[in-house]
Amino acid sequence: MSSIDLPVPDWAMRTAENLLSTHGEGPHVVATGISPSGNIHVGNLREVLVGEAVVKALEALGSEARFVFHADTIDPLRKIAPGVPESFWQYMGHSLSQVPDPDPNGCHTSYAEHFLAPFEEALEIMGVEVTVLRSHELYERGFYTEVTREALEHTDELRQILQEVAGRTRLIEDYWSPYIPRAASGELSNTRVLEHKPELHGVVFEDGYGKKGFADYSKGEGKLGWRVELAARWKALRVTFEPFGKDHTSRGGSTDTADRMAREVFHYPPPGRFEYEWIQIKGRGAMSSSRGIVLLPNDMLDIMPPDALRRMVLGRDPARALDLDLAEGFPRIMDEGTRRPRATSKSSAGTSPTPATGPRSGRRSRTASGCATRCPPKRRTWTPDSGGTSRW
Ligand SMILES: [Zn+2]
């Protein structure tokens, strides 16, 4: 569902030209991703729209590009998002895909889906053509089996890199493992890998109580640690480009570590990169789910057309911070967003605006805690073995 012919911004063209010179003609794989541990907000949307713009730029330059959104649904619950009942502390350390919907009236299958589904719906409304991958499904279907085996076989080298790049201020434990098995309690923590059994694609581990267990990494019975997983998924998905926020690209941060792990252990070139700046709300600071400072894409789509939201979120240059002034910003942006379609639709009322260029009519009803009652939304499913020329 491509809604509109997007004008390709200059910064995206420059980024794509640079990518073609450093990573070849393609086909390219542009990846974005997020952990659905709380509301996925307009700041997160910036990353996806940066990826989309680079995909469009690559296509404009005659290259083939695939666009994926990697939802980190297997990630453990680390914080309780605002509005989530206190009782959810019991699920701390459990995969977001295995924690129940925090809305007692909700009909999402998990905590991850509760936050991911509305975002996916917004992407669909905006006509963003992206394949949404759920990491727990990738692990369960064995997509990461080979890179996990590779990581476990190079545990010492990965540990060394982690120590050199990220561990200046802390010592990485001797028993550190790139793979985190899921304990019988469901927690992805407090386990110690004792032995790798490559022939069984699994590890023998000990939990926090000294109880031994076995985790099969071809079946999603655990996951790679975050920094290793980043490098491993670049290789597994054959990613050639990924935008990152400044929280990841700081010195000694996750991209510094993953770059070395990719080169030295996985023998895969680190993807091209665009560092985007955060979106801040004037007077409140950077948008943050854990602090409850968010604007949700779905709410914005209730009051502005998708192309206005797209331009608002990207700004002139997403490498620069965007300060949204809630008092003044929206009316101006909406004005800009509606002016163009109106001017053209006068002369061609029959062809425009398309449904995707105007704000949605009517608001979806929601339960008090924000769970969309119109659910489950349509889901594009993905199977590793389904047709196609590549591993998608
Ligand atoms: Zn829900």
Taking only the tens place, the pLDDT of each residue in 136-185 is 999 999 999 999 999 999 999 999 999 998 766 667 888 899 999 999 99
C-alpha of residue 108 to centroid of ligand 1, in Å: 4
For the ranges 18-22, 28-32, 315-319, the lowest mean pLDDT is seen at 315-319
Instruction: Give CA angle at 297 (292, 300), nearest 5°.
Output: 100
**Distance between CA atoms of residues 257 and 260, nearest Å:** 6
C-alpha of residue 102 to centroid of ligand 1, in Å: 7
Which residues crowd ion ligand 1, with CB under 5 Å? 101, 103, 106, 108, 114, 371
Per-residue CA distances from 188 to 16, 156, 370 (Å): 38, 21, 28
> In the prediction, which pLDDT does 246 show?
78
C-alpha of residue 247 to centroid of ligand 1, in Å: 28
For 44-74, write each residue's pLDDT tens digit. Answer: 999 999 999 999 999 999 999 999 999 999 9
C-alpha of residue 9 to centroid of ligand 1, in Å: 36
**pLDDT averaged over the chain?**
84
Lookup: tokens for 177: 């493992």
> In the prediction, which pLDDT does 156 show?
95
C-alpha of residue 146 to centroid of ligand 1, in Å: 34
Query: Can you tell me the mean pLDDT for 246-255?
Result: 76
Query: Can you tell me the mean pLDDT for 29-53?
Result: 94
> In the prediction, which pLDDT does 145 show?
98
Question: What is the per-residue DSSP string for 134-151?
Answer: EHHHHHHTTTTHHHHHHH
Work out the pLDDT band at 325, boundaries 50, 70, 90: confident
Query: Percentage helix, strand, coil, to 5, in the chain?
Result: 40, 15, 45
Work out the pLDDT band at 287, boundaries 50, 70, 90: confident
> In the prediction, which pLDDT does 225 show?
95
C-alpha of residue 353 to centroid of ligand 1, in Å: 32
**Predicted TM-score of the model (pTM):** 0.85
> In the prediction, which pLDDT does 6 show?
72
C-alpha of residue 103 to centroid of ligand 1, in Å: 5
> In the prediction, which pLDDT does 293 show?
75
